[in-house]
Structure 1
Amino acid sequence: MNIQRRKLLNLGAVTAAGSLLGTSAWAQAFPNKPVTLVVPFTPGGNTDIVARTVAVALGKVLGQSVIVDNRAGAGGSIGAMQVARAAADGYTLLLCGAGVIVTVPEMVKTSYSRSSFAPIGLVNKSSMVLLSRKNETRFKNFKELAAYARSGDGKLIAAHSGPGTPNHLALLQLESLLKTKFTVVSYKGSGPALVDLIGGQVDVHFDQVTSSLQHVKAGTLQALAVLGPAQDPSLPGVQTVAEQGFGELDGTTYVGVLAPSGTPKDVQDKLAAALAQAVKDPQTVNSARELGSVAFSGTPQEFARILDAEYALATQATKDGRLKAD
């Protein structure tokens, strides 16, 4: 081997070793500046409240400020696009439900897809519930509602909180279970839908317990069924759809944190461990309980499975022509 070639090989080995050492040292130093947690919805909503509580706890674990940045619009896709395009260094994260990642792209053209993100972990879950007015005379329980809905396609007027939301997917699941069609009314959020339900413009609404619990406690609305695998402690005695003999239906809403997909694995691991610790913080647990939800720690793999399940629902609904943007 000539001297010049040996020098080049030695130089390459030194450069490679230096590069690996630099990467390792950089990961060990993470984070050395504030982290931004993007919320793709407006301030004040359930997702935003969860984000702000988690941000405080996560900041304590990481030893750096975690700044919540609300980037609302287009069903959450504006905030998601911002994170997908961000530097994959662990300093820009996204907090949202699975729908923003896998369902919205099924309805509208986005510059991101599921592969644009790496799941870091779950932070919260809330039950979905089927609601009607307390003084409703046509059906006083879920079994009577099922019979009413089956008595004619389109007879039941059902509301949800927007195309592609978990509320919408739960509605589609119930249509399939009951083998009937509803007259579906789409709203921009739970607030307007609840107003119209109370006012009698719609018959039922698919909603998270976090949004509707106050109305159930006040006696304005009644919960006919929990749309999930288990009863919710906030609604004692309200059975699931399966418990009432109508098959399995899971509308549970999960919220988690994601990073751009190119984020180094050791940084992802550090974030996942910190997030799991933050979810167990007493302030996080108490805040979730006050909302009517649960501070729920889940691994990146568990979050990935939830993304898989919702993607399967969304793609099938799209093929059937039942999932469309307004």
Structure 2
Amino acid sequence: MQIQRRKLLQLSALAGLGGAVGTQAWAQQGFASKPVTIVVPFAPGGNTDIVARTVAVALGKVLGQSVVVDNRAGAGGSIGAMQVARAAPDGYTLLLCGAGVVVTVPEMVKTSYSRSSFAPIGLVNKSSMVLLTRKNDPRFKSFKDLVAYARSGEGKLVAAHSGPGTPNHLALLQLETLLGAKFTAVSYKGSGPALIDLIGGQVDVHFDQVTSSLQHIKAGTLVPQAILGPSQDPSLPGVQTVAELGFGQIDGTTYVGVLAPAGTPKDVQEKLSAALAQAVKDPQTVASARDLGSVAFWGSPQEFTRALDAEYALATQATKDGRLKAD
């Protein structure tokens, strides 16, 4: 955890220096003329937070301004999302999250925002989902052991996820369906707190992105039982997918993007999109993403919209089935 804290502190410091090392061309064009805030709707230390901090560093260089990460955790991401939805639509307050915060959470609870409250700026990162157990847990020497344990009694397997409606939660629901089992699901305000409780023995498994769990896997503290996606992850060679293990297809790949409040001027949206497209190609951003177990890539606003559409279809079906509910 000390390594992770140092990494986050370094990223925060670099993001704050963005204006000192960046160009002034963007400011001279009217945007950005002051610091930009990226709101992360989850606790520090999780997948979304780490992605935000790496992107903030590069975006600060491009814009020639400080880019600050503001963690506003709670309610499956809706607290942070509400803050951005209510912000001035000027491009200086942005939301970085997966599609679930925008389209899934409003399906579960009444929120003061909806999908139409935001303008997609672009996708910036993707990460594989992995099912984790702690080291030396005698019950789970393999994924098949875990499956047998989960099927041996309803609610017997205590499974952590990062909040209602998150990709982690949807992956949990998908795995329940594939295995024909019912877990005792425990919701957390992000991956960071869930990882701590998994290591401490308060939960049996955690559905997490490789990004936020890789350091614990490398340290041998946590064991990856299966990749919850269509293909193996290069960061975890030899770890098979659920399909390869013989239990069917599941896709928990997490796509992370940036949104602005609806009503943000079109020219500002376009400048932000162009700046982000440049930022995700920054060698430091690419290397940081790779080191953390994810992929930095640019997806247009249109591609982000398609990701939102796909997530919405999953969420509405799960809601109709009565399986997607707020805590």
Shorter-chain TM-score tier: 0.7 to 0.9
Query: 1:86, 1:263 → 2: CA distance?
Result: 10
Query: 1:41, 1:137 → 2: CA distance?
Result: 32
Q: Shift in Å at residue 273 of structure 1?
A: 1.9
Query: 2:43, 2:223 → 1: CA distance?
Result: 28
Q: Is the 8 A contact 1:128 1:252 kept in 2?
A: yes
TM-score (norm 1): 0.82
**Runs of at least 5 residues in structure 1 that lack an aligned partner in the other structure:** 1-27
SS at match of 2:171: helix
Partner of 1:230: 231
Q: Shift in Å at residue 201 of structure 1?
A: 4.0
More displaced, 213-222 or 226-235? 213-222
Query: 1:113, 1:65 → 2: CA distance?
Result: 29
Q: Shift in Å at residue 319 of structure 1?
A: 2.0
Q: Is the 8 A contact 2:126 2:253 kept in 1?
A: yes
Q: Shift in Å at residue 119 of structure 1?
A: 0.8
Q: 1:276 to 1:32 in 2, by over 3 A?
A: closer
Q: 1:110 to 1:203 in 2, by over 3 A?
A: same
Partner of 1:33: 33
Q: Is the 8 A contact 2:285 2:296 kept in 1?
A: yes
Q: Is the 8 A contact 1:123 1:257 kept in 2?
A: yes
Q: 1:145 to 1:38 in 2, by over 3 A?
A: closer
Q: Shift in Å at residue 153 of structure 1?
A: 3.0
1:250 aligned partner, one-letter code = D
1:160 aligned partner, one-letter code = H
Q: 1:89 to 1:321 in 2, by over 3 A?
A: same
Q: 1:321 to 1:108 in 2, by over 3 A?
A: same
1:251 aligned partner, one-letter code = G
Query: 2:302, 2:77 → 1: CA distance?
Result: 23
SS at match of 2:58: helix
User: Which runs of structure 2 are paired with 1:61-140 in the superposition (5 Å)?
Assistant: 61-140=62-141
Q: Is the 8 A contact 2:120 2:304 kept in 1?
A: yes
Partner of 1:221: 222
**Percent of aligned pairs with the same residue?**
86
Rg comparison, structure with higher value:
1
Pairing 1:59–2:64 present: no
1:31 aligned partner, one-letter code = F
Q: Is the 8 A contact 1:31 1:64 kept in 2?
A: no
Partner of 2:276: 275
TM-score (norm 2): 0.82
1:279-317 alpha-carbon deviations (Å, 9 max, x no partner): 010121222223222212211122112212222222222
SS at match of 1:263: coil
Pairing 1:317–2:318 present: yes
More displaced, 87-96 or 191-200? 191-200
Query: 1:66, 1:201 → 2: CA distance?
Result: 36
2:77 aligned partner, one-letter code = G
Partner of 1:291: 292
Query: 1:248, 1:137 → 2: CA distance?
Result: 27
Q: Shift in Å at residue 101 of structure 1?
A: 0.9
Partner of 2:163: 162
Partner of 2:186: 185
SS at match of 2:141: coil
SS at match of 1:259: strand
Partner of 1:23: none
Query: 1:155, 1:237 → 2: CA distance?
Result: 28
Q: Is the 8 A contact 2:163 2:190 kept in 1?
A: yes
SS at match of 2:104: helix
Q: Is the 8 A contact 2:46 2:191 kept in 1?
A: no
RMSD: 2.5
2:99 aligned partner, one-letter code = A
Partner of 2:6: none
2:276 aligned partner, one-letter code = L
Query: 1:218, 1:69 → 2: CA distance?
Result: 29
Q: Shift in Å at residue 242 of structure 1?
A: 1.8
**Runs of at least 5 residues in structure 2 that lack an aligned partner in the other structure:** 1-27
Q: 1:181 to 1:93 in 2, by over 3 A?
A: same
Q: Shift in Å at residue 43 of structure 1?
A: 4.5
Q: Shift in Å at residue 192 of structure 1?
A: 4.0
Partner of 1:308: 309
